[in-house]
């Protein structure tokens, strides 16, 4: 980011209120808070937005299960997010909720603008819909013909009237933006989005009639049974938070476009494809950067409620301190990669990085300053004796922002800072101040202590965005306060004024044993156990394939007609095209679930399901060992 930048607008995603905050939410928010604090320290007018996403079918259903209204349920969960961020002292400027009246007005304004432009039209949608992800899934993307490729949960087939956004209209403009402006960080993630767009964009269904919990269409359109698609609703929070759609849009003029949207990798497509297309439609400038981070596991395992290993960020912070937790999260994993949380790794970071490298270096010069010079520290002869070490540290500092921080390589930013601490520890071991004093080289010994103090000051002002309270303690011991002026002076190479170093307790007492309660590993109960009575409700019959043909426009489906000894053959649509040719199936016997509720696949009714087995070597139909009379029950 250029030093000429006057304003900096950054956002977290707005978190979906289907559950309480977890470590992934904390990770995203800590990253954003760190960038916001650093930006402010540089003197940049910064606006940091976070909040909650509260509409959609999933919220409506979750509330119903708990006997609450959607608004009551959303109020409860949204409050938990805000309370946690306040407890963590997250420095957000606004906490937005998609149930805020101002937000709803802004969404309706945007919808109407796109409608009047001709980018929204009315039609019918029929296809697979994932309630969990609140998104439609193309047939070619389904897993086993029904499962969502993102979350693995079963999709629903829905047919309903819908308004559509002409996403296909913006395909070329999106590709030009993605390829030439390179807005996605890390850059490796950009290739996935570019491939998605190049495969061809279809117009996007942007309203629902199957549930009510959402933003109603603008009154001017007069179609009250429709609510706005939750993702269109949610994405516009980045503009409505600044007053878009209100009488006062001065903050939009001041801060837009966003310099940085921080998101999880699972929602990158929505932010890097749908959102910029919406902005193009209403004539607004596109965001400068969209940064997508990875997911967290625990001790190498995916976190889940059933395993009882979901990490509550408050429990970690309560046990180890919020600032130690912040440091660990940002240092432990490269941005964009998946991370693994283990208590052992956290303890190692606290004891080694923070305790040994940082805290011990400060303790060493406090001890030496009082032993040799009554606590007085001077920078007078640092350049004279230790210009090589000083210049090496200055070079590291000058590269921190553009090379690492603004490119979201925060783990590398911290690694580079720790190289400055290494310079300090090495200098003490190399020059041995106790020997300098013994040999009468008091001036050089004083300069060495002054060198270490200045190295610690360089680290403190840059680490301040990650550990604000801890670094103010370090600065106070070194005779200064971290603020915009001191940051500027130290970054420009100015040395500390003479001061008397303050004795302070160790900042990072050594941790000898884990402090958190061990997760109660829940015994894995066998899944999907049914009784014998339930089993006998399933009717399995032998059938004979009399017709088999490919389903056009489908990579997976075949349309079969199967004789089950009934008045006419059953039509069964099966996802076996990759494993069987139609001509090889005709006149062969199959096993059929015959009392399954009919379902629609690619617009065709399927009146049963074939039994099959699938492993790494492919799929095979389950067949009777010998031909049997069609309609014979399998027992």
Name the E strands within 335-449.
Answer: 339-341, 376-377
- Cα(99)–Cα(109) distance, integer angstroms: 15
Pairing of strands 558-563, 376-377: unpaired
Nearest to 460 by CA among 408, 420, 404: 420
Q: In this structure, what token pair is assigned to residue 132?
A: 């969990």
The rounded distance, in Å, linking the Cα atoms of 84 and 463 is 23
Compute the distance between CA of residue 67 and CA of residue 57 in angstroms, rounded to an integer.
15
Q: In what order do the strands lie in the sheet with 540-550?
A: 570-574, 558-563, 540-550, 589-593, 609-610
Long-range contacts of 546-549 (CB under 8 A, 24+ apart): 546/586, 546/587, 547/586, 548/582, 548/583, 548/585, 548/586, 549/582
To the question of whether residue 133 is assigned a binding role by annotation, the answer is yes
d(CA 328, CA 346): 6
Which residues, at least 6 apart from 590, have a Cβ–Cβ distance to it below 8 Å? 542, 543, 544, 545, 562, 610, 611, 621, 622, 623
Task: Spell out the residues 6+ positions from residue 248 whose beta carbon is closer than 8 angstroms to its own.
Answer: none
For residue 615, what are its two tokens?
């492993």
**C-alpha to C-alpha distance for 149 and 130, rounded to whole angstroms:** 10
**CA pair distance 73, 583, nearest whole angstrom:** 55
If one counts every other C-beta atom within 10 angstroms of the C-beta of residue 395, the result is 9
DSSP 416-462: HHHHHHHHHHHHHHHH-HHHHHHTT-HHHHHHHHHHHHHHHHHHHHH
Asked if residues 599 and 157 have their Cβ atoms less than 8 Å apart, the reply is yes
User: Is 5 labelled a binding residue?
Assistant: no
> Is 148 annotated as a binding-site member?
yes
CA dist., res. 202 & res. 138, Å (int)? 10
How many Cα atoms are found within 13 Å in the side-chain-facing hemisphere of 568?
3
What's the CA gap between 425 and 551, in Å, rounded? Answer: 70
Q: Residue 74 contacts by C-beta under 8 Å, 6 or more apart in sequence?
A: 17, 52, 54, 59, 63, 97, 99
What is the token pair recorded at 441?
Answer: 């080289």
Which residues are CB-neighbours of 257 under 8 A, at least 6 positions away?
9, 284, 285, 286, 287, 288
Q: How far apart are CA 159 and CA 210, in angstroms?
A: 9
The 3-state DSSP class for residue 500 equals strand
Distance of CA 411 to the CA centre of its chain: 17
∠ at Cα 52 (201, 99), nearest 5°?
Answer: 90
Tokens of 321: 């301190």
Binding site: what residues are annotated?
130, 133, 148, 151
Query: Binding site membership for Zn(2+): which residues?
Result: 130, 133, 148, 151
């Amino acid at each position: 980011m250029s030093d000429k930048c006057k304003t900096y607008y950054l956002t977290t995603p707005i978190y979906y209120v289907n559950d309480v905050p977890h470590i992934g939410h904390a990770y995203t928010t800590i990253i954003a808070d760190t960038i916001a604090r650093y930006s402010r320290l540089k003197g940049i007018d910064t606006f940091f937005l976070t909040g909650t996403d509260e509409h959609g079918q999933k919220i409506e259903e979750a509330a119903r299960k708990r006997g609450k209204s959607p608004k009551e349920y959303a109020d409860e969960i949204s409050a938990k997010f805000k309370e946690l961020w306040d407890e963590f002292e997250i420095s957000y400027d606004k906490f937005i909720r998609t149930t805020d009246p101002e937000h709803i007005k802004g969404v309706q304004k945007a919808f109407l603008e796109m409608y009047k432009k001709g980018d929204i039209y009315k039609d019918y949608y029929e296809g697979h819909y994932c309630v969990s992800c609140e998104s439609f899934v193309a047939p070619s993307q389904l897993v086993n013909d029904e499962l969502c490729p993102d979350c693995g949960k079963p999709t629903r087939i829905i047919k309903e009237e819908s308004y559509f956004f002409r996403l296909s209209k913006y395909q070329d403009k999106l590709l030009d933006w993605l390829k030439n402006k390179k807005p996605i960080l890390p850059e490796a993630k950009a290739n996935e989005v570019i491939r998605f767009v190049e495969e061809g964009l279809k117009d996007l269904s942007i309203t629902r009639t199957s549930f009510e919990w959402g933003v109603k269409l603008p009154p001017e359109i007069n179609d009250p049974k429709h609510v706005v698609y939750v993702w269109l609703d949610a994405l516009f929070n980045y503009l409505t938070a600044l007053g878009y759609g209100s009488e006062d849009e001065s903050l939009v003029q001041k801060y837009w476009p966003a310099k940085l949207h921080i998101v999880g990798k699972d929602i990158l497509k929505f932010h890097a494809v749908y959102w910029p297309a919406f902005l193009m439609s209403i004539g607004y400038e596109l965001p400068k950067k969209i940064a997508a981070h990875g997911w967290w596991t625990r001790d190498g395992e995916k976190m889940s409620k059933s395993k009882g290993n979901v990490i509550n960020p408050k429990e970690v912070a309560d046990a180890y301190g919020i600032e130690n937790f912040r440091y660990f999260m940002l240092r432990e994993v490269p941005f964009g990669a998946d991370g693994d949380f283990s208590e052992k790794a956290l303890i190692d970071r606290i004891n080694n990085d923070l305790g040994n490298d940082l805290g011990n270096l400060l303790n060493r010069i406090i001890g030496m300053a009082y032993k040799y010079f009554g606590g007085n520290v001077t920078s007078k002869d640092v350049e004279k004796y230790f210009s090589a070490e000083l210049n090496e540290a200055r070079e590291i500092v000058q590269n921190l922002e553009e090379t690492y921080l603004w490119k979201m390589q925060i783990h590398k930013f911290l690694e580079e800072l720790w190289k400055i601490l290494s310079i300090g520890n090495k200098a003490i071991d190399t020059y041995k101040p106790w020997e300098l004093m013994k040999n009468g080289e008091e001036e050089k010994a004083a300069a060495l202590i002054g060198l270490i103090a200045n190295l610690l000051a360089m680290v403190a002002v840059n680490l301040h965005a990650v550990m604000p309270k801890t670094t103010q303690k370090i600065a106070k011991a070194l005779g200064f306060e971290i603020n915009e002026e001191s940051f500027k002076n130290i970054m420009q190479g100015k040395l500390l004024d003479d001061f008397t170093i303050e004795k302070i307790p160790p900042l990072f007492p050594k941790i000898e044993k884990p402090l958190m309660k061990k997760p109660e590993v829940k015994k894995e109960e066998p899944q999907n156990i049914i009784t014998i009575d339930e089993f006998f409700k399933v009717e399995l019959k032998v059938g004979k394939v009399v017709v088999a043909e490919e389903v056009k426009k489908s990579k997976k489906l075949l349309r079969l007609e199967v004789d089950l000894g009934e008045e006419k053959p059953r039509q069964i649509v099966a996802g076996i095209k990759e494993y069987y040719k139609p001509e090889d199936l005709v006149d062969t016997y199959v096993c059929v679930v015959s009392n399954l509720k009919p379902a629609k696949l690619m617009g065709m009714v399927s009146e049963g399901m074939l039994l099959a087995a699938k492993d790494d070597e492919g799929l095979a139909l389950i067949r009777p060992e010998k031909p049997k009379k069609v309609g014979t029950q399998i027992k």
